[in-house]
């Protein structure tokens, strides 16, 4: 890597760590954003474990463990599908909704502070750059076929 890429890599890693800290709830890292993601994707309905795995780009086994963790914390309800007993459905319950509201408040406070700090022009520029990054990531396989992420 060249010096510019080294600096960018370091900033991106630092950004990831700092962003994770923004949305930590009393339930620990990951709970809030996982719940928020399930809530947003399901739009108040249920999601299957397979849908959770696809949404978070993890294996079905990992999604199962994530959902079990939320269930142990009392934040979701799980039930077998009425028509196909092999399918497990997940729904955020009332306790989970409380955590989601905390995450939404934290996200809103963070984004309001960030946009105030950046100003309108830099916020619009950041939005444009993030859109380009997401497009790049969605259309480019950055790992050669068969290689695992490091």
Residue 48: strand pairing partners: 89
Residue 42: strand pairing partners: none
Based on C-alpha coordinates, what's the Rg of the chain? Answer: 18
Q: What is the pTM of this model?
A: 0.72
Q: Provide CB contacts within 8 A for 33, sequence distance 6+.
A: 23, 103
Both tokens assigned to 20: 């994770």
Per-residue pLDDT of the chain (150 residues; tens, 9 = 90+): 788 888 888 888 888 777 766 655 555 556 777 888 899 888 878 999 999 999 888 899 999 999 999 999 999 999 998 999 899 999 999 999 998 898 888 889 989 999 999 999 999 999 999 999 989 988 887 665 555 554
Q: Does domain 3-139 have CATH number 1.10.10.10?
A: yes
Q: Give the end-to-end CA distance of the chain in Å, rounded to a whole number.
A: 16
Task: Map out the domains of the chain as residue ranges.
Answer: 3-139
Q: Tell me the Ramachandran region of residue 146: left when phi exceeds 0, alpha when psi lies from -120 to 50, beta otherwise.
A: left
CA distance 111 to 105: 10
Both tokens assigned to 65: 């463990």
């Amino acid at each position: 890597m060249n010096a510019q890429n080294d600096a960018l890599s370091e900033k991106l890693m630092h950004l990831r760590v700092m962003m994770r800290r923004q949305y930590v709830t009393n339930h620990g890292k990951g709970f809030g954003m996982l719940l928020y993601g399930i809530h947003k994707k399901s739009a108040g309905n249920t999601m299957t474990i397979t849908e959770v795995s696809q949404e978070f780009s993890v294996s079905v086994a990992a999604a199962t463990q994530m959902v079990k963790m939320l269930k142990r914390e009392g934040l979701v309800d799980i039930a077998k599908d009425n028509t196909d007993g092999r399918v497990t459905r997940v729904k955020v319950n009332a306790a989970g909704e409380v955590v989601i509201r905390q995450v939404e408040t934290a996200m809103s406070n963070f984004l309001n502070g960030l946009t105030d700090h950046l100003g309108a022009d830099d916020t619009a520029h950041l939005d444009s750059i993030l859109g380009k990054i997401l497009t790049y990531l969605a259309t480019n396989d950055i790992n050669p076929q068969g290689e695992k992420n490091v």
